[in-house]
Amino acid sequence: MTERIGVYPGTFDPITLGHADIIRRGSKLVDRLVIGVTTNPSKNPMFSTDERMEMVRREVADMKLGNVEVVGFNALLMKFAAKQGATVIVRGLRAVADFEYEYQMAGMNQQIDDEIETVFLMADVSLQPIASKLVKEIALFGGSISPFVSPAVCKDVIARVEKIGRLGDY
């Protein structure tokens, strides 16, 4: 029997508890789960690709998942997935707005390579509101992000905010 490989792509800027939940659950669906850390300049990343990869590797190590690896990529997702030997793309959904975007992406991806299926996992109800963009915004305005990220990621984000400076008056 061939190994079932999945890819969970994202910018992970920073990795949140919601991402960790999808990684943990997605790793149960495949023999090997590749976390694809990608660049997306339109998202105005707070951390470099290398920093994000290290952050994700640390979080995955803490989860003690032996079938998960972290790989950086800067290419079309379907080409990256095919290169990894993946038959599944894992995507997390938080809300209806996510579904509309992800549904369109899955359709486009299927047009590119219909041998690779997209699997959607609903975020845990308690984690559904969490988004990396909002975590960064809260941190930049001096709010607490500890309910949304691990303690180690919280320290990373706070250190970065201290380096680049907070926004607004408080």
Are the C-beta atoms of 129 and 94 separated by less than 8 Å? yes
Task: Quote the pTM value.
Answer: 0.92
Please give the pLDDT value at position 6.
98
pLDDT in tens, 47-78: 999 999 999 999 999 999 999 999 999 999 99
> What burial class does residue 34 get, using C-beta atoms within 10 Å of its C-beta: 0-12 exposed, 13-18 middle, 19+ buried?
buried
Report d(CA 121, CA 90) in Å as an integer.
7
**Structural domains of the chain in order of their starting residue, each with its CATH number:** 5-164 (3.40.50.620)
Q: Which residues contact 131 (CB under 8 A, 6 or more apart)?
A: 16, 18, 94
Known catalytic residues are: 19, 43, 94, 132
